Amino acid sequence: MSQLVFDIVSIFPGFFVGPFSHGIVHQAQKKQAIHLQVHDLRDFTTDRHKTVDDRPFGGGEGMVLKPEPIFRAVENIYSKIPREQGKIILLSPQGRKLCQPHIRHLSQSRQITLICGRYEGVDERVAEFLADDEISIGDYVLSGGELAACVLIDAVTRLIPGVLNNENSQVNESFENDFGATECPSRGVVLDFPQYTRPEVFAGRKVPELLLSGNHKKIRLWRRRKALEKTLKNRPDLLQYASLSEPDRQLLNHSLE
Ligand code: SAH
């Protein structure tokens, strides 16, 4: 298994201790499928106060992360590995919105550098002259890029072959199944079907009878119908561009009746 190395540049290196020591991301490190290195931005400052931010030119509220320490931190990362092996990503609400095909593409990388902003953001020269890509995890504003970096790392890691024990568990998931969407934003994909586990009756609510029937063909159709219904209810935007098969159409019509 080839290893995917993540280099993270942040003013809060301690932030990552929790997220990196649980679940799939933790196991992937143990299996050496990924290697995570956090770089403290303050280590790349040159002044006594380890200054990473300054006031914005042109006035306005808040502080902006200075370019020099970020460029220096990234230079240090690529003094150890060839620059062309890696991808430099700036986490930013102004970036391209992350989605599953993009994550899948990233999972084939050898190395990814993630630059985490704070305060009012990062000097624009980082986006313009250093980063290969600016990525947003959604249309809302976080207080820092660290959570966004964790989201990206988690989603990418679970797609690396050999990381999940059951590779099939990926195939039927939300945003993964169906019409082979390869573009962002995700269109023409269907959300996952609802799952149930024991107990059969919980607080008077019974699991759908059909799932207990052992009739796999019927179960498959039921799940497909439920997946289509749920997508229609919660994410109609996804279905808008889907070329639904005739059986899918029939299932949907059936549930709309
Ligand atoms: N003033 C900026 C927001 C800065 S938020 C603006 O309005 O565009 C501070 C930092 O948090 C950003 O530099 C970025 O690294 C991170 N961040 C905030 N929201 C994010 C999002 N939706 N996706 C990725 N990173 C985000």
Look up residue 35 and give its two tokens: 């290697």
Confidence band (pLDDT; 50, 70, 90) for 227?
very high
Confidence band (pLDDT; 50, 70, 90) for 1?
low
Closest Cα to atom 18 of ligand 1? 142
State the distance from the centre of ligand 1 to the C-alpha of 186, rounded, in angstroms: 22
Does the C-beta of 136 come closer than 6 Å to ligand 1? yes
Any alpha helices (H) in 109-178, and if so which ranges?
Answer: 124-129, 145-157, 168-171
Give the residue-averaged pLDDT of 184-188: 73
Does the C-beta of 188 come closer than 6 Å to ligand 1? no
Give the residue-averaged pLDDT of 168-187: 66
State the distance from the centre of ligand 1 to the C-alpha of 211, rounded, in angstroms: 44
Least trusted range by pLDDT, from 15-29, 74-88, 132-146, 163-177: 163-177
Q: Which residues of 10-46 are buried (b: 16+ CB within 10 A; e: fewer)?
A: bbebebbeebbeeebbebbbeeebbebebbbbeebbe
